[in-house]
Amino acid sequence: MTATAQRLDATVPDAKTATPARRRRAILPTEGHPSVRPPAAAHLSDEQVATMAVELDAIRDGILASRGSHDAAYIRRVIKTQRTLELAGRASLVFASFPPAWIAGVGMLSVAKIIENMEIGHNVLHGQWDWMRDPDIHSTTWEWDFVTPAASWKHTHNDLHHVWTNVVGKDRDVGYNILRISEDQVWRPWNLGNPLYNALLAPIFEWGIAVYDLELDEVAAGNKTKTELRRDLRAMGKKVARQFGKDYLATPLVAALTGSFVPALVGTLTANAIRNVWAHAVIFCGHFPEGADTFTEDMIDGETRGDWYVRQMIGSANISGSKAIHFMTGNLSHQIEHHLFPDLPSNRYAEVAPQVREICSRYGLPYNTGPMWKQVGSTWGKIFRLALPPKGHFAKA
């Protein structure tokens, strides 16, 4: 195992993970095996898993070694395009009382917000561009166009979700404390509302994530202090004020000069809703369609680096499609590759995807991929199915 691969799971205590119970686990071993491997990987021997890890480490190290000016030019070009679109969209909304201007403004602002969240913000906050040493494009300085503060999201997403991917009881992203999304989750009567909860969540997804990132359930369980909660509430309040000032005050007030205050306000609300629905669809397609496995805690007891790789591959799902689809999803259409290598530049995932798919095929592991319509339909089908009690539930009761 290479040193760069070993560091990926290292414990990194900081302001967000100071409580010992909430720290990331230490470096994973290279030898051994978990108490039980997931069914999809039960046929693999310890030696095969270890060999596969070496192959995947080599892919990662190859990309790390080849990063350069072409990658830096890419992200700077994307940021410039996004900011131009946002400026043009807000300028169009100044004249939003004229329907064509409203449509153009909403369209450009929606696309700008999607690009900022998916291809820029999400990936910058993963540290994918920290190697450039550009203080303006760095995981420690970037604040994205989302109501949840970047620091809170990095804790729940980078430090928890990407470490404990799809482990029921450890990865709180499994259903986001709202949905029953795995058969390993105990069914409760309120789960009958699964489809309704999901439909309501989509247009306000950024708000759902903001509340989720407060970790209120962790406060109730005693794993997060009230002092930490107050700190996070203050940070969220500042971020909400900033977002409201930009979207619902500044743009509409300028538009008021042309008699377009209300249409501009509705336009920014619409752009945010469109962005939220899109982000919700992409995220859910990458984690919850049929075939994306979830795991029990005994499946990670004794987990090696290779087994961690296996869990990322069989617990994630891709979206097939055009370059435009890949770009607009922030390359999270390559969710499998992203979970294997979360710190690689997003523009390189398409390059490594064929290699990862070949490894999955050679080791007899599923590679879950399909067009977006199929993955969205599969996810919704699963949400409806798991809203119902498992067979024999009432007989057991």
Distance from C-alpha of 143 to C-alpha of 124, rounded to nearest angstrom: 10
pLDDT at 230: 96
> With a threshold of 0.85, does the pTM exceed it?
yes
pLDDT value for 393 = 64
For the chain, what is the mean pLDDT? 92
Q: What is the pLDDT of residue 358?
A: 98
> How is residue 343 written in tokens?
């710190």
Give pLDDT, residue 27.
Answer: 78
Task: Say if residues 177 and 201 touch (Cβ distance below 8 Å).
Answer: no
The burial class, CB within 10 Å (0-12 / 13-18 / 19+), for 64 is: middle
Chain segment 111-156, per-residue pLDDT in tens? 999 999 999 999 999 999 999 999 999 999 999 999 999 999 999 9
What torsion do the CA atoms of 353, 355, 358, 362 make, to the nearest 10 degrees?
Answer: -130
Token pair for 336: 């499998």
The whole-angstrom separation of Cα 61 and Cα 63 is: 5
Every domain of the chain and the residues it spans: 3-9+16-73+144-391
* DSSP code at position 68: -
Torsion sign across C-alpha atoms 358, 42, 28, 300: positive
Q: Are 21 and 215 in contact (CB under 8 A)?
A: no
DSSP state for residue 46 in the 8-state scheme = H
Give the pLDDT of residue 31: 81
Exposed e or buried b per residue across 2-30, where buried means at least 16 C-beta atoms within 10 angstroms of its C-beta: eeebeebbeeeeeebbeeeebebeeebeb
Of 341, 191, 359, 208, the closest CA to residue 272 belongs to 208
E runs forming strands in 114-273:
none
In a structure prediction context, what are the per-residue pLDDT tens digits for the chain, which is 397 residues long?
Answer: 333 333 344 333 343 444 434 444 557 878 888 889 999 999 999 999 999 999 999 999 999 999 999 999 999 999 999 999 999 999 999 999 999 999 999 999 999 999 999 999 999 999 999 999 999 999 999 999 999 999 999 999 999 999 999 999 899 999 898 999 999 999 999 999 999 999 999 999 999 999 999 999 999 999 999 999 999 999 999 999 999 999 999 999 999 999 999 999 999 999 999 999 999 999 999 999 999 999 999 999 999 999 999 999 999 999 999 999 999 999 999 999 999 999 999 999 999 999 999 999 999 999 999 999 999 999 999 999 999 998 766 556 5
What is the spatial distance between Cα 215 and Cα 224, in angstroms, rounded to a whole number? 8
Give phi and psi for 295, each to the nearest 5. -135, 150
